[in-house]
Amino acid sequence: MEDLRSVLLKHGFSFKKQFGQNFLTDTNLLHAIVSDAGVDENTTVLEIGTGAGALTRALSEKAKRVISFEIDRTLRPVLSETLSGCENTEVRFMDFAKCDLKALEEELGDYVVAANLPYYVTTPIIMRFVEEGKRCRALTVMVQEEVARRFCAKEGTEDYGAVTAAIARRGSCRITRTVPRTLFTPRPNVDSAVVRIDFTEGGFPVKSEKAFRETVRAAFLSRRKTLENNLISVFRLSREDAKAILAEAAVPDAARGETLSPKHLGALSDLLFERGYIKE
């Protein structure tokens, strides 16, 4: 097959900034991502952001089935060439954010996500699988390096935040490799990293998903305020009740939300739910 730049030029394709289009061109990296995702002949893969189809084709070579979503319909003639012969692959030209995930999961059964995600939709897409995905076993995605650090951060660090806790509630997260900006076309302004989030290991139960989300939101509402003050502000607790709840949850006096591990935040959310401060 012709090199990617030649194919794009032949079909008159122009990059669209609003779609965050940065295409991967390094063959070794593409195969490494497929390997990081654990894709084999029994795997159904969901990809978001087909782009020019380079990763899609690498996935197709290993997977049982690939369903790929692409928002830019002008890529259709490019993909008809770059994905020629990929009989186990289907490209759906639509915005994945508008897709009915429940219906899609009923169609796919168990699946994994593998994608070079457009930077501007990274966190919303990840959070959609974290909060709604029932059949997704793992996500292996290319994201900005600083976002990858945030996803995998430890409590008490600058990168630790609400999204970290939300991911940890569902599973384990690790950076599998870092990727220099020079491997993309066009070249972005930042380096990237491949992150793998496993929903089949790690994670922990909570009494109420809603209570956990609201507790995490409160914990990170204002990093300069103590957790006690944030709970008072968000849940309208008296200071006495806030102190009592935190003492029962074994949270030190004057602690800030970012010092609590995801599991500790889960235990606190259970208490707030049990005491009726958060309703289902």
Catalogue all structural domains in the chain, each as residue range(s) with its CATH number.
Answer: 4-198 (3.40.50.150), 209-274 (1.10.8.100)
The pLDDT value given to residue 50: 93
Q: Which residue is it, tokens 């770059």?
A: 82
As a whole number of angstroms, the distance between CA 39 and CA 30 comes to: 12
When pLDDT is cut at 50, 70 and 90, the band that residue 63 belongs to is very high
17 band by pLDDT with thresholds 50, 70 and 90: low
Q: What is the pLDDT of residue 274?
A: 96
DSSP result, 224-272 = TS-HHHHHHHHH---HHHHHHHHHHTTPPTT--GGGS-HHHHHHHHHHH
Q: Residue 267's pLDDT is what? A: 97
In this predicted model, what pLDDT tens digit does every residue of 222-271 receive, in sequence order? Answer: 888 999 999 999 999 999 999 999 999 999 989 999 999 999 999 999 99
Average pLDDT over residues 51-69: 96
Query: Structure tokens of 97?
Result: 């954010």
d(CA 49, CA 92): 10
Q: Give the H/E segment covering residue 81.
A: helix 76-82
- pLDDT, residue 224, reads 84
Contact 62, 34 (CB under 8 A): yes
pLDDT at 259: 96
**Cα separation, 274 vs 279, whole angstroms:** 9
* Residue-level pLDDT at 2: 53
More confident residue, 50 or 186: 50
Q: By percentage, how much of the chain surpasses pLDDT 70?
A: 96
pLDDT in tens, 103-150: 999 999 999 999 998 888 899 999 999 999 999 999 999 999 999 999
Residue 22 pLDDT > 50:
yes
CA distance 108 to 122: 22
Please check whether residue 60 is in contact with residue 89, taking contact to mean a CB–CB distance below 8 angstroms: yes
Give dist(CA 257, CA 138) in Å, integer.
28
User: Which segments of the chain are extended strands (E)?
Assistant: 23-24, 44-48, 65-69, 89-92, 111-116, 136-144, 172-179, 184-185, 192-198
pLDDT score of 1: 45
**What does the angle CA 39 – CA 35 – CA 108 come to, to the nearest 5 degrees?**
20
Checking if the pLDDT of 207 tops 90, the result is yes
Residue of 190, 191, 171, 184 lying closest to 113 (CA atoms): 171
Residue 115: C-alpha distances to residues 26, 246, 263 (Å):
15, 40, 28
